[in-house]
Every structure is written in structure tokens, then in C-alpha cells.
Copies of this chain bind each other. A is one copy, B any other.
Amino acid sequence: MIDGTPLPLVGPQSALRADAVRNRALLLEAAAELASERGAAAITMETVAAAAGVGKGTVSRRFGDRNGLLQALLDRSEVLFQEAFLSGPPPLGPGADAAARLRAFGPALLRHEHAHRDLYLAAEPTPERRFSVPARQLRHRHVALLVRAVLPGADAELLAHTLLASVDVVLVDHFLRPGASLERLEKGWHDLLDRLLH
């Protein structure tokens, strides 16, 4: 919770039966192994099914489609990132004021996604889903709360989308190609905030 507002955490919330949970963990383990050995591009419903020794239907029932599988695979590291900004040490976590937490959020997100870049790019949802992935909704809710605190007159919901778009993994990937640096993007986040807040 932030300020008493319940937040949608990622991860399996439904009461899966124990064997279903084991089954899910087994499939994710196989997918993680595939990813570390051959890269995210090698992960398909078929390759994961084959690696786990089950039918493709089992993978489909558990994750829906490839994007669902990749999102699930990201959940573990996403949960660590969420813990960092929801309850970790300041300035990213509680204890620092809203401006300092917002300032720290962009670089933290940039570093986090960059560390899992291959998977995040592969898991990029289709346009219809881009803003409805639970992990993204949580990030947006968090940033909007901080924006509301530091810029009471602004449309916090909209401005949170704009801030998050400025460090979107697809934009970052495009931006880093011609030899730009992560530092330039972090500086850009700080500059944007400085201009907005002062």
C-alpha cells in the first residue's frame, strides 16, 4: 500500500492447487533456462513445452500465450523492483520526500529494465495491452501518486504516463542504438523533473 491505497501486485493471486503451482514453477524454470542459454528470442510455447517435457496445451492453459509466458518470467525480477520502490530504502523507497523518490524512480527503472533488456523487449505487449499489464499499472499508479504530491495542480495521471514514456524500454532501446548512453537518459529524467518542479 501507498497512502492506504491497495495496489495490484504481480504474481499468481488466485488459489492455484499445489500441483498447478509446481507445474507453473517447472515451466518457468524451463523458460528461464532457455532464456539464459539461448536468449529471449528462443522462448516460444513450443520450445518451453519441449524443454519441460509437457504438451503445448499445458503451457497455453497456464500462460495463455507467449506474451503471458514472458510476463510471468519477468514477474520474479519485477517483484524485486516493486519491493525496492514500494518498501526499499530511500530515496527510491519510503522515507524520502515525494520529489526525491520521483527523482530516483527514473534511473532505477532504467537500470532495472536495462539489466533484463532482452526479456523486457521480447515481452513488449501488443498495443492493445501496452497499458494494461499489471506491472505497468502498478508503476503508473506509483508515479501518479508521487506526481500528485509534488505537483498538486497537474493532471497527475496523464503526467505519470508522460514520465514513464520517457524511459519506456522500447524508446530506450531505440535511443541507445546509435551509441547514446544510459547516463544521458538518466540526465534527461532529472532535467525533465527539474524543469517541471522549478
Q: Which residues of A contact B (CB under 8 A)?
A: 121, 124, 127, 130-132, 151, 154-155, 158-159, 161-162, 165-166, 168, 170-171, 173-175, 184-185, 187-188, 191-192, 195-196
Contact = CB atoms under 8 A, between A and B. Distances in A.
B174 A130 contact: yes
A160 to B, nearest CB: 11
Closest 9 CB pairs of A and B: A165-B165, A162-B166, A131-B174, A158-B188, A124-B127, A127-B170, A195-B196, A155-B188, A130-B170
A158 B184 contact: yes
Contacts of A173: 127
Nearest to A196: B195
Nearest to A124: B127
A161 B187 contact: no
A144 to B, nearest CB: 13
